[in-house]
Chains A and B, each alone.
Chain A
C-alpha cells in the first residue's frame, strides 16, 4: 500500500484528492487529506459580503461533503513535515506517514506582520475582507459610513486574488452611489505596484476605469506601519495617507508549518518547478494552489488549471516516468466592476491579459477586458460550478492551457 497525503482541503487539495481517487487503484493507494477544521469556504464569495449580497451561509459548507468516498479526512493542526522520515506530525501528537505529499495549505492574510495594523483600530476603522469575519465586520462598518476617506490598500505582493481589491473598490463606488453618498466619500486606492495591475494592457484599462469613477490611485506605496491613533498609513519613504475607513489587504504568507519544516521561502511558499509543481528539494513533494512559489496569480482558477496538469503528471511520476505536461500559469478571472457588470481576464506566465473574446462551450463567448453583464452573471454562476463541478473534481469543459483563440494581439499598435 502506498500513501498519498494531501495537506489542506481547500480548492487545490480537495480537487487533487478527488481527481486522484478516481485514477489511483484503492487496492494500492490510500489517500488522506488533512485540514484544521471542517469548514470549506468559497473565498471568492467574501467580496460580496461587505455589500450584503452574500452572507455566511452562501460561502460555507462542510469539507466532508466534498471529499469523495475512499478518502480519509483528518482534522488537526499540522505541526511539521519531516521530509527525511516521510511523515507529517500533527500538533496533537498524531503522525501521518506518506510516500507522496501534496502541500495545498494556501496563503493567509497576516495583519500581525505590519506594526499598528492589529491595534485598537483593528475592525474599528481598519478592516480586511479576505476573511469571513473581516468581511462581515466590514459590512457593518460600511453601513455606518456616510462621509470621509475610504482607503482601499494592498500591503505587499503577492496576494491571493490580486484583482479583488480593485473589485472591492468598484463595488464600493457603486454601492455608495446607489445610496447617494458617493460625493461625500473620497475613494482612494493604494498599491505597492506602479499601477492598478501588473500587466500593462490590463493596468491601463483598469486605470482608466478608476479615473472615470474619480478614484484616486496612490502607487509605489510600500507600507511600513499604520499610525492607528492618527488613522494614517505611513510608507518606508515617509509618505502618509490618512483614512477614516481603511480596507487593507495584509501581507499574505504561506502556512507557518512550511517554514518550521524548512520547506518555505521568505514568505513560507514552497519552491517548486513552475511547470510540474514538484518541489525543487524533494522528489516526492508537490505544492499546489496558493501554497507554491510559482509566478502566477494566487487564485482558484490557477489552482484548477494547475491541478489538471498535476494529476496527469503525478500518475507518470509515481511510475518512474518523466512528467510530460507543462503547466503554463493559466489564470482566468472575472473582475466585478459595479452596476452588475464585470470584466473577464485570461492570461498565463507569458501572455498578459488581452482584449477579445473568450470561447465558452454552451454559454457562448465572453468579452475579455470589457465590462459586460454576461461576465457578471458568469461570476455569480461560478459559485454553483465551484461547489458542484470543480470541487468534486468533475471535468470542466475549459482547456487547462491558455488559448489564443479570440484574443486580439496587436491592440496597442492598431
Chain B
C-alpha cells in the first residue's frame, strides 16, 4: 500500500490518492486534503464531511450522493456547489474515506 506525506503527516492511500485508513484522518489533515484540490472549507463543507464520516463509521461504506441528501439532509445541488464537478469523490477524498462504490 503506497503512502504519501501531507503537511508532515504520513498517510496510507490507494492508487488514486484516497486514504485507505479512516483512523489516520484528522480535521487538520482534512483541511490540507481540501487545499490540495483547491477547496477552502466552510461550515457547510464541514457539515457534509462530518456526516460522511459518522455515516461511514456506522455503515462501513462511503455514502452516495443520494444518501447524503436523504439521510444527511444536504441537497445534491448544494454538494455540487461545495465540491464542484465530482462531489461524491471530492468529499470522500477530503473526509479521508474510500472512494464511494457508486456502481458495481
Query: CB within 8 Å of A: which of B28-79?
Result: 61, 64-67, 70-71, 76-77, 79
Query: CB within 8 Å of A: which of B58-104?
Result: 61, 64-67, 70-71, 76-77, 79-80, 84-86, 89, 101-104
Docked pose: A185 CA to B102 CA in angstroms: 30
The main secondary structure of chain A at its interface with chain B is: loop
- Name A266's contact: one of B70, B79, B84, B101 (CB within 8 Å): B70
Docked pose: A156 CA to B76 CA in angstroms: 12
Docked pose: A159 CA to B104 CA in angstroms: 9
Report yes or no: B101 in contact with A220, Cβ–Cβ below 8 A: no
- Name B103's contact: one of A198, A222, A224, A236 (CB within 8 Å): A198
- Name B66's contact: one of A237, A266, A329 (CB within 8 Å): A266
* Contact residues on A (Cβ < 8 Å of other chain), bracket: 20 to 34
Residue of B nearest to A191 (CB): B103
Using known A-B contacts A222-B80, A266-B71, determine if residue A162 contacts B85 with beta carbons closer than 8 Å: no
- Name A267's contact: one of B66, B79, B101 (CB within 8 Å): B66
Q: Does A176 contact B (CB under 8 A)?
A: no
Docked pose: A265 CA to B71 CA in angstroms: 9
Residue of B nearest to A294 (CB): B104
Residue of A nearest to B81 (CB): A237
Chain A residues whose C-beta falls within 8 Å of the C-beta of B77 in the assembled complex? 224, 236
Report yes or no: B76 in contact with A295, Cβ–Cβ below 8 A: no
Q: Does A91 contact B (CB under 8 A)?
A: no
Q: Encode A208-237 as 1/0 by CB contact (under 8 A) with B.
A: 000000000000101010000000000011
Report yes or no: A237 in contact with B80, Cβ–Cβ below 8 A: yes
Chain A residues whose C-beta falls within 8 Å of the C-beta of B67 in the assembled complex? 265-266
Residue of B nearest to A157 (CB): B103
Using known A-B contacts A198-B102, A236-B80, A237-B85, determine if residue A156 contacts B61 with beta carbons closer than 8 Å: no
Chain B residues whose C-beta falls within 8 Å of the C-beta of A295 in the assembled complex? 61, 101, 104
Chain A residues whose C-beta falls within 8 Å of the C-beta of B71 in the assembled complex? 266
Q: Does A146 contact B (CB under 8 A)?
A: no
Query: CB within 8 Å of B: which of A247-302?
Result: 265-267, 295-297
Report yes or no: A157 in contact with B76, Cβ–Cβ below 8 A: no
Residue of B nearest to A200 (CB): B15
Chain A residues whose C-beta falls within 8 Å of the C-beta of B103 in the assembled complex? 157-159, 162, 193, 198
Least CB distance from A21 to B in Å reads 31
Least CB distance from B99 to A in Å reads 10
Docked pose: A157 CA to B88 CA in angstroms: 12
- Name A193's contact: one of B66, B79, B85, B102 (CB within 8 Å): B102
Residue of A nearest to B59 (CB): A271
Interface residues of A (CB under 8 A from B): 156-159, 162, 192-194, 198, 220, 222, 224, 236-237, 265-267, 295-297, 329
The 4 closest A-B pairs by CB, nearest first: A157-B103, A266-B70, A236-B80, A198-B103
A-B contact pairs, 13 of them (CB 8 A): A157-B64, A157-B102, A158-B104, A162-B103, A194-B86, A194-B89, A224-B76, A237-B84, A265-B67, A266-B67, A267-B66, A295-B61, A295-B101
